[in-house]
Amino acid sequence: MAGPDLKAKVEVKMKSEKSQITMLIIVGLVLFIVVSLVLYLSKSVAKNTAKNNIKGVQQTAIDVQPISDFVAKCLNKLAKDAIILLGKQGGVIYKSQGGTSVDYRDTGEGIQFVKYSGHNVAYNINPPAFANSYDDISYSSDIKNGNYPWIIFPYTSRSYANEKYDGFFGISYMPPINSSEGSHSFQDQIETYIDNNMAACANFDIFKNQGYEIKMDRVNATIVIGTNDVAVKSSIPIKITNMKTREFTDINEFTTNIDVRLKDIYFYTKDLINNDIKNINFELVNKDNNKNSISVKIVKTAYSAGKIKADIVVITDEKSSINGKPFEYTFARKNRAPALYYIKNKDIDFVVKDDNGYYDIAYSDLWARLSPKAIDPDEDDLTNQIRFYFQNAEIKNGDTLTLNDRQPVFKVEVTDGVLSDWQPITGNPVYP
């Protein structure tokens, strides 16, 4: 009787196992449905959130476009202002203006700068270093004063056969163009001016009433001075927050180009200056120097006081216009002494007319026998500026001196009205 009971037990057991499997399948299916639903809802929420964030950022970017344009206009204005200042002040922007150069005191006028058109114009040409005393300068024959230009100027040897005009007639104080070439360069001064003045220019108060909070971090401008323009790029970190929505955005990089041939003007001017301090016969204002729409003008004796006088040199580029006006580069040139040609015959004879040893020396005799000539590195007019002296008294045209000195010493001097150059001449009485 055990067979039927065993068969019944087996059948019950199989039914139980099937029920368990069915339950597991149902539970698994329910879990799958729940997990799938959770994942779907999570993705949907994230997607909607991202859409809302993107929409908010885009809306903010559109709203702040006027702010970005405002800053870009400031960058353009400051770059122009810096270039104009450099041009008006001899390549200098002073610290009080936002530049790198130390401000001169008013007492430095004539010594360090010249006032012209409301600006302190720096010197780009200074006299030779040994000629700074501005006393009774005597170069050609006085060893103590440096023999400027040289003792037998302009001759190259005692044969007096050849002349030359190249020498050392000044020092260039024109700043370098790029920061890699030295301090206070054009590049460094323009960049510094932009950095120091951006906060004052970009005054965001007008946007506060529109509901924006604007914070600007440190400005860092870089420029490239090209042949046809000045390219300006500036990092101006600005964070703009919409106070109502708390949305924010950041803007940073700004660029602008100033259509001025600053590089061409720089090297054109530098070439003129180098020629002017090297060759005493060189003329800044010359038809050959006016080319490619660039012209040169000299304002003679723009400054004069005591033993110092100075010219102003203005170089104008008609092809470079800033704010509707041609770009000008203006610099000061400190006065340099004229140079007297070496007088070959240092001893001149005069015939004694009586037994007491008296002889006559006339102005016309001195002029005819010596034939003095002179030249000025600043193109000063030396007409009637060569003079003769005896014992510190001038011998004027028409004068005749009656002397009985055994060896009278005369002085031949040329002056530009402030500085002079002179040579001594010895007279020799000759008995008939």
pLDDT higher than threshold 60 for residue 160 = yes
Distant-in-sequence, close-in-space partners of 428: CB < 8 Å, separation ≥ 6: 347, 348, 349, 350, 407
Least confident of 14-23, 121-130, 295-304: 14-23
pLDDT band at 43 (very low <50, low <70, confident <90, very high): low
Report the percentage of the chain scoring pLDDT > 70: 81
Highest mean pLDDT among 20-29, 131-140, 392-401: 392-401
207/59 Cα distance (integer angstroms): 17
According to DSSP, residue 407 is labeled S
pLDDT band at 35 (very low <50, low <70, confident <90, very high): low
Report which secondary-structure segment, H or E, holds 7. helix 2-63
Output the six-digit token pair for 274.
Answer: 């180098």
Half-sphere exposure of 138 (CA within 13 A, CB side): 11
Output the six-digit token pair for 412.
Answer: 């031949």
Q: How far is CA 172 from the centre of its chain?
A: 13
Residue 37 or residue 90, greater confidence: 90
Residue 20: what pLDDT?
A: 64
- Render pLDDT for 386-430 as a digit per residue (tens, 0 to 9): 999 999 999 999 999 999 888 899 999 999 999 988 999 999 888
Under 8 Å between Cβ of 269 and 329: yes
Give residue for tokens 């060893």.
Answer: 143
326/348 Cα distance (integer angstroms): 57
- Render pLDDT for 218-244 as a digit per residue (tens, 0 to 9): 999 999 999 999 999 999 999 999 888
Residue 30: what pLDDT?
A: 64
**Residue 425, phi then psi, degrees to nearest 5:** -130, 135
Distant-in-sequence, close-in-space partners of 58: CB < 8 Å, separation ≥ 6: none
pLDDT higher than threshold 60 for residue 12 = no
Residue 11: what pLDDT?
A: 52
333/123 Cα distance (integer angstroms): 6
Residue 130: what pLDDT?
A: 58
Residue 32: what pLDDT?
A: 64
Residue 6 or residue 314, greater confidence: 314
Give pTM, 2 decimals.
0.80
Distant-in-sequence, close-in-space partners of 357: CB < 8 Å, separation ≥ 6: 404, 406, 429
**Spans of all domains in the chain:** 17-63, 66-128+168-262, 339-430
Under 8 Å between Cβ of 229 and 322: no
* Arithmetic mean of pLDDT, 203-207: 90
pLDDT higher than threshold 50 for residue 370 = yes
192/204 Cα distance (integer angstroms): 21
**Residue 209, phi then psi, degrees to nearest 5:** -65, -15
CATH class of 339-430: mainly beta
- Render pLDDT for 46-67 as a digit per residue (tens, 0 to 9): 444 334 333 344 444 446 789 9
